[in-house]
Amino acid sequence: MKYEANLESVKKHEVPEWFHDAKFGIFIHWGLYSVPAFAITRRDVIEPSGSGPYYANNPYAEWYLNSLRITGSPTEKHHNKTYGRQFHYDDFASIFNKKIKKWNPNQWAELFKKVGAKYVVLTTKHHDGFLLWPSKYPNPKKKNLYASRDIVGELTKAVNENGMKMGLYYSGSLDWSFNPNPLTDRAHLFTNGNTTPEYIEYVNNHWYELIDRYEPKILWNDIAYPPGVNLNEIFSYFYNKYPEGVINNRWIQITKKQRENILNRPKDTIRENRERVRKPKEREESGTYRFFHYDYITPEYTTIDKIFKTKWETCRGIGNSFGYNQYETEEDHIKSEKLIKMFVDIISKNGNLLLNVGPMADGTIPEIQQRILLEFGRWLEINGEGVYGTRPWIKAEGKTTDNIEVRYTQKKNELYIHLLDKPKENEITIISLDITENSKIQLLGKDLMLDWKQDGDNLIITMPDSLTDTPVFVFKVF
């Protein structure tokens, strides 16, 4: 269909099947912040309280410039000690551009394909304003604030050649090259953005340029978009070129009046509202998202606890930062066992996982991140049949009589039972699961059919004699 530049028209766009099928994508945060690669680790961070301490102690390394601008922050102290007070954040550009000469985009794409990713989302411009492509619209405030290689173009080519789809992230409202004032209060996250005509023209030009030049299948905007723009013009333009494309939900526009209202609210009210909208389901139901179009919602470092009708995608790092933080240890990284169990829970509830890698400045993906990715990929290689192309079943969760958690997915006439722990006995009894009399049950990764019987409403499955240890066992019922 032909989409027009109005809400009624673009809302007719449906999430394409490929995005439902894909389940797993790779997020990449790479830029100037990858040079200092510093942030306080999350185990030491002051938890968000709605006031200054959180931003002074931000565990996200990609927020280095904002943290640096906060007097007395650990980042400022680290920067002055390591680089000196006269060393400006922009000076990292020459170092980054020298280091990226070693980067091989094909190695990235081959790794992502190997571990089972179906799409990739790259940060083309993060909040610091540094561009990862040679734009026809350079930054009017800063010279040379762009990469010396066309990182977006080179990676897009490698990703497409490896059979995955490419998505592009762009920081819509926040750009610290235009706004020198640090964001110091979490409650004012949406009031620190840029709203000048010059900036609006700048970001609009960039999105159209990215769409035309690189043909992305995902538009992943972050932290709002400047007011006064008809977003439906961007959305309809994108859909008319790529009907199979998808758009995330972080395009909210905060008007000048709304900004003033936020700034004038009592802190307690701000904190209450922030806590309320942190939960995706409540945010959806509250109407926060109803005034602009999106294909899916994007909770961050959190998941949804029920089957959710709206398509969703949780994003998180392998560590506790998106950008590479050289000070994160093994303790700061998610274990592959926990990651796999979380992933199964996500897909059982209509979600995707966008798992972030934070490369070093020269493009090297840290060994610990690669190891976890490869462990995740080995599980997917055996159990992917119960993942890719599936949909939520009539219920997401279940349990065995010995309290092992169960998750469900389905595909056509096949049901997949995901057992989130290794049974202690040679039989498992799944509570309240009744299958048809002539069904067959197979443990993925094993060729043999398993014996089973119904005990009232409960399903009893006899396990194979030898079980290989795995975080999640997947049974196919057909």
Would you call 429 helix, strand, or coil by DSSP? Answer: strand
Q: pLDDT under 70 in the chain at which residues?
A: 43-52, 266-290
Domains, in order of start, for the chain: 7-386 (3.20.20.80), 391-477 (2.60.40.1180)
| pLDDT in the model for residue 170 | 99
Q: Let me know: does 27 contact 365? Beta carbons within 8 Å.
A: no
Beta-carbon contacts of 78 under 8 Å, excluding residues fewer than 6 positions away, are: 36, 38
Beta-carbon contacts of 259 under 8 Å, excluding residues fewer than 6 positions away, are: 190, 191
| pLDDT in the model for residue 276 | 43
CB burial of 228-247 (b: ≥16 within 10 Å; e: otherwise) equals ebebbebbbbbbeebeebbb
| pLDDT in the model for residue 264 | 75
| pLDDT in the model for residue 44 | 59
Beta-carbon contacts of 291 under 8 Å, excluding residues fewer than 6 positions away, are: 252
Would you call 440 helix, strand, or coil by DSSP? Answer: coil
Which residue(s) pair with 93 in the sheet?
none
Nearest CA among 190, 215, 367 for reference residue 288: 190
Please give the Cα distance from 148 to 441 (Å, whole number).
55
Say which amino acid occupies 241.
K
Sign of the Cα pseudo-torsion (245, 246, 250, 252, in order): positive
Please give the Cα distance from 309 to 160 (Å, whole number).
30
CB 412: neighbour CB atoms within 10 A? Answer: 9
Say which amino acid occupies 175.
D
Would you call 378 helix, strand, or coil by DSSP? Answer: helix
| pLDDT in the model for residue 79 | 98
